[in-house]
Amino acid sequence: MSIVKEPKGIDFVVKSEPWSDEELKEFRKLMKKRKSELGEKKRSKIKENYKKVSKQPV
C-alpha cells in the first residue's frame, strides 16, 4: 500500500460544475470508445483484479 501525496503547497480541492447534457453525451461516447479499445478480455481481467483487491482484509 502507498499513499498519494499532494505536491508541496498543492491542495486537491474539487468543486465541480454540472456537466451539460452535450458534455455528458460526449463523455459517454468516449467511455464507450475507451472500453471498446480496452477489449472484453482486458476489462474482465481488471474486474477480476478489482475483486481480488477489494476482498483483501483491511
Partner 1 sequence: MGKKEIDIEIDRLTNSIENSVTGEVFDTQVVQLRKSDKKNINPAEWLFDWEAELDLSNREVFKLTTANNPKIIHGLLSVEDKSDHIFIHLVESANFNKGTNKMYFGVAGNLFSFACKVSFEKGYEGYVAFDSKSALIEHYKKKLGATHFKGQRMYIETVNALELVKKYFQD
User: Residues in the site for partner 1, rule: CB under 8 A?
Assistant: 1-17, 19, 23-24, 26-28, 30-31, 34-35, 38, 43, 46-47, 49-50, 53-54, 56, 58
Q: How far is the CB of 19 from partner 1 (least distance, A)?
A: 7
Q: How far is the CB of 33 from partner 1 (least distance, A)?
A: 11
Q: Contact 35/43 with Cβ under 8 angstroms?
A: yes
Burial 45-55 (b: 16+ CB within 10 A, else e): eeeeeeeeeee
What grid cell was written down for 57? 482484509
Q: How far is the CB of 39 from partner 1 (least distance, A)?
A: 11
